Amino acid sequence: MEWDLEQLEALFKDMDDLVVTREKECLLIANQDGLDAWLAISGEQIIVESLLFNASQVADKAALDHDILSTHMLFPLTTVAISNVNGEEYYTAFGALSALSKAESIQIEVTTLFQNVAAFLDAYESHLK
């Protein structure tokens, strides 16, 4: 089965520790720790993304980028990237999976993203101004 936003919204509304809001062509998912993630369907992929921090908050981008690349394998299913949001660069964490994935796999992806976002924020906090 290929997922659509209505089905994904229903899937996450069944999870007690998440709040799901429909925002145009995306879902905004918030957890109990106050972390937000955006979920969208793009072609044959489901992409879930969370902003970490504005790049302007980073004291030494080269040092942070080195740490991210050096520790990437410690964080399963999640990748860190730099995204442009309204003309500003942000470090973001994201995961992607097939739009044909099982419900459990999608739930694991989102749960793991939230766990990894909290870990990224702790791990890279020393790089912020």
DSSP 3-72: --HHHHHHHHHT-TTEEEEEETTEEEEEETTS-EEEEEEETTEEEEEEEEEEGGGBS-HHHHHHHHHHHG
Average pLDDT over residues 30-45: 97
Average model confidence (pLDDT) across the chain? 96
Cα 10 from Cα 129, distance rounded (Å): 40
What is the rounded distance in angstroms from the CA atom of residue 90 to the CA atom of residue 74? 21
Q: What percent of the chain has pLDDT over 90?
A: 97
- Say yes or no to pLDDT of 14 above 90: no
- Region 95-107: mean pLDDT is 97
Selection from 24, 27, 25 nearest residue 36 by Cα? 27
Q: In degrees rounded to 5, what are phi and psi of residue 5?
A: -65, -35
Domains and CATH numbers, the chain: 5-127 (3.30.1460.10)
